[in-house]
A and B are shown apart, each in its own frame.
Chain A
């Protein structure tokens, strides 16, 4: 069903991987229940001068977006072109509709504010005077305090973006996203860990490609720093890297994990056959 899929906006130019973003809060909640946390990157309007708590858009890793598309849980939407055409195609009726919509929201706000005002007066024990002067004063104040909200997701292209959910378009966008990634094997590592129930987030702060959490990062500490994927039967492993990675991992109480991917693995199902994991711990003898 199209409606239940999450729309993932992909910001990209030709030849780029692109930035996958999700704008709808309900979708973000849904993704979180699936096990895809992502990173919130937008300014939180209620606290605009800090970076610890942010709001929409939710930024996904390319691997996350690919996995969601593969699992039919999401679909990619691409291009500023859609916005331009949609904006140029707006007709007078649409604008009228939008204005009516705004007017309805204003009416609801007026109603709410009047009621609050009356309640306040009652609480203060002031009798509602119906002198016309104060009334007009009040309604002028009220009019100027009505709130206009800038929405998270787009009303303009909400219909049009559905049209992207066709297998051929999705395959093309996913392919572009996949080729734009630095390390192609990372997707298999991501998939294997995700299907074991781990939450993953970008891991360069701990010297890895991912960090893996046993559950929702809101409540649980992460356990592993996962390195960029390698074909472990062929690629050399730098010993210095093992030492420094192992030390760093132990320092931040995480397991240093290398995901080995078999490049020539052709079975499409069980990811566990394709990917093997090796973990390094600093034993600290001596």
Chain B
């Protein structure tokens, strides 16, 4: 998992705030003196400080270290969490529901978080509750079972909140949640069975349909083999009598037939077909979060499809291992988010129909969709891939985001140019459709 693979092309997918976090090849060196200078309103993230090779025993170095530590701990203890009486928003944790209730909600967090019930109270999920309490937006209380009024409900500290996490997994998920929230993303917990409510899965997955499909598939393959009775194994000596290879293109073409590959689904139809295929399961994995890029016209009730879906993986727990190829296939199948490749060809018509609100987005898009020569387009296509999800890897407090993309070498003709297009250096090996990993360490 090398961390320096940020190439230009991917920057269109991941906002720069995620990218610039590992520009330096070094580990989280922190110069807290910068944050000490920050006043409350500022949002500029300070640059990181200089460091030495090793302790050399000099007083000068000792002094520098002492200063750095003092500044760090001063800024830690000076940053008081909470709000003034006027803006105080009380939230009550309800243990039975593992949720929190805000009886008198106000504030901009309501825009992307919480659910308002009939009585006007806002219900926060536990993650939202802890996140908001941690940044001082709400004041956390514990709702006691027997008492109706709040007179006996104790005020909680951050430690209490964390201790209410029910499992290690939940605390890992929260760390990822808070990380993404701090970056400004809109994050919601994924529904458990996202495969059923999927955009692609709007069709009923009835057993009859599955059967029919299977039947069609077998019939298809059968008819293929019948219509082509002269197919011989490639290495069969008879091949040389039946076929003549006059150009290298012909050789490439028949070589191409030898390599088995699974084509990545690229259209809605193919996606639905893939969805009905059984025998892939994601195992223990499921999506933890749906993530939307920051946007001002976000609606909680009709959020639309998320931009990313995130799986959380703890690399140091003995219970979890890096997802296998089949599990990744299963996850890709469960995917229920925006897929840019679906509307890429239809972009031209769609542009005129875009609403006012999306104008800014389309402008950016049209820039990204500049026409390139076909071989560059192909390179971009292979690199970008099709379906993808984000694997958030937790390593004892440090989160790395890895994007797992399904790409399709098999269907692309990278071997030869039928017309006399000037040859380029091709490095791609004889790979079938494989999942390319693009490691992206954040932090």
Interface residues of A (CB under 8 A from B): 9, 11-13, 16-19, 21, 23, 25, 28-29, 32, 38-53, 55-57, 59-62, 79-80, 82-84, 86-88, 90-92, 94-95, 98, 143-157, 179-182, 201-207, 211, 214-223, 248, 251-253
Question: Chain B, 150-178, contact with A by CB distance < 8 Å: what is the 0/1 string?
Answer: 01101111111011111111111001001
Interface centre among B68, B145, B152 (most CB of A within 10 A): B152
Q: Give the distance in Å from the alpha carbon of A82 to the alpha carbon of B160 in the complex.
A: 9
Nearest CB in chain A: distance from B159 CB, A? 4
A47 to B186 alpha-carbon distance, docked (Å)? 18
Known: A148-B82, A152-B159. 17 other contacts (CB 8 A): A11-B165, A13-B167, A17-B316, A19-B172, A43-B182, A57-B159, A80-B164, A83-B156, A86-B154, A147-B82, A150-B139, A182-B315, A202-B397, A205-B400, A214-B53, A219-B61, A221-B29
The CA of A164 and the CA of B392, in the complex, are separated in Å by 33
- Say which residue of B21, B35, B152 sits within 8 Å of A44 (CB atoms): B35
B115 within 8 A of A: no
Contact between A84 and B95, CB atoms less than 8 A apart: yes
Q: Pick the 9 closest A-B CB pairs, nearest first.
A: A39-B397, A144-B86, A59-B397, A46-B79, A45-B81, A154-B159, A204-B395, A13-B167, A202-B396
* Neighbouring B residues of A84 by C-beta, 8 Å: 95
Assuming the contacts A150-B158, A152-B159, asked whether A11 and B171 have C-beta atoms less than 8 A apart, the reply is yes
B140 within 8 A of A: yes
CB-CB under 8 A for A148 and B85, given A52-B30, A53-B32, A204-B400: yes
- Given the known interface contacts A53-B30, A145-B85, A157-B160, the answer about A150 and B152 at a Cβ–Cβ threshold of 8 Å is no
Q: Determine the residue in chain A with the shortest Cβ distance to B146.
A: A88
Stretch at the interface among B38-46, B328-336, B417-425: B38-46
- Note all chain B residues with C-beta closer than 8 A to A251: 25
B134 sits at the interface (CB 8 A)? yes
- Taking the complex as formed, is B28 at the interface, i.e. its CB lies under 8 A from any CB of chain A? yes
Residues of A within 8 Å of B184, CB to CB, are 49
Q: A47-B35, A50-B45, A207-B2 are in contact. Are A12 and B68 (CB under 8 A)?
A: no
Decide if B54 touches A46 in the complex (CB within 8 Å): no
Q: Which of B69-77, B302-310, B341-349, B365-373 contacts A (4 or more CB under 8 A)?
A: B69-77
If A11-B171, A153-B157, A205-B443 touch, whether A218 touches B35 (CB-CB below 8 Å) is no
Known: A41-B397, A57-B162, A88-B145. A215 touches B54 (CB 8 A): yes
Q: Which residues of A contact B82 (CB under 8 A)?
A: 45, 147-150
CB of B103 within 8 Å of the partner chain = no
A25 touches B73 (CB 8 A): yes
Q: Are B158 and A149 interface neighbours, CB within 8 A?
A: no
Q: Assuming the A-B contacts A23-B159, A52-B46, A221-B52, are A45 and B80 also in contact, with contact meaning beta carbons closer than 8 angstroms in the complex?
A: yes
Complex interface bits, B123-156 against A, C-beta within 8 A gives 1, otherwise 0: 0000000010111100110101100000110111
For residue B233, CB closer than 8 A to chain A, the reply is: no
Please state if B27 and A222 are interface contacts (CB–CB under 8 Å): yes
Query: Complex: how many Å from CA A222 to CA B21?
Result: 18
Q: Is the CB of B168 within 8 A of A56?
A: no
The residue that B157 contacts in the complex, of A13, A17, A154, with Cβ under 8 A, is A154
